[in-house]
Amino acid sequence: MRGDHYVVISSTMNPSLPWEEALRTSMGVTRNFKSAYTLALSIGEIVKPDIGYKGALERINKFHAILISDLAGSNKITIINVKKY
């Protein structure tokens, strides 16, 4: 959608980094959902997501936010659909 961006936020931050840098490396912004989904799997180090791309796309279109976790349950990441003003 025009004007929409996707914010990707990891649930974990690297404690060995300064707070600002750890926050910066645990977040990202993309212009389309496919990039956001790929980035989420990369940042969250998720190998086997609990929801596939098509299911995630349906959910983001309906609720504008989604939580993706690894099937093992250890890694979690959030994607939020936001408007750019």
Across the range 4-24, mean pLDDT stands at 90
Residue 20, classed as helix, strand or coil, is helix
Asked if pLDDT for residue 1 goes beyond 60, the answer is: no
Give pLDDT, residue 85.
78
Q: What pTM value is reported for the model?
A: 0.87
Instruction: Report how far residue 66's alpha carbon sits from residue 31's, in angstroms, rounded to the nearest whole number.
Output: 16
pLDDT single digits (tens) 40-83: 999 888 999 999 999 999 999 999 999 999 998 788 999 999 98
| DSSP 8-class letter at 64 | S
Give pLDDT, residue 83.
86
User: Residue 69: beta bridge partners?
Assistant: 76
Give pLDDT, residue 15.
86
Sketch the domain layout of the chain as residue ranges: 4-83
Backbone angles phi, psi at 33, to 5 degrees: -70, -35
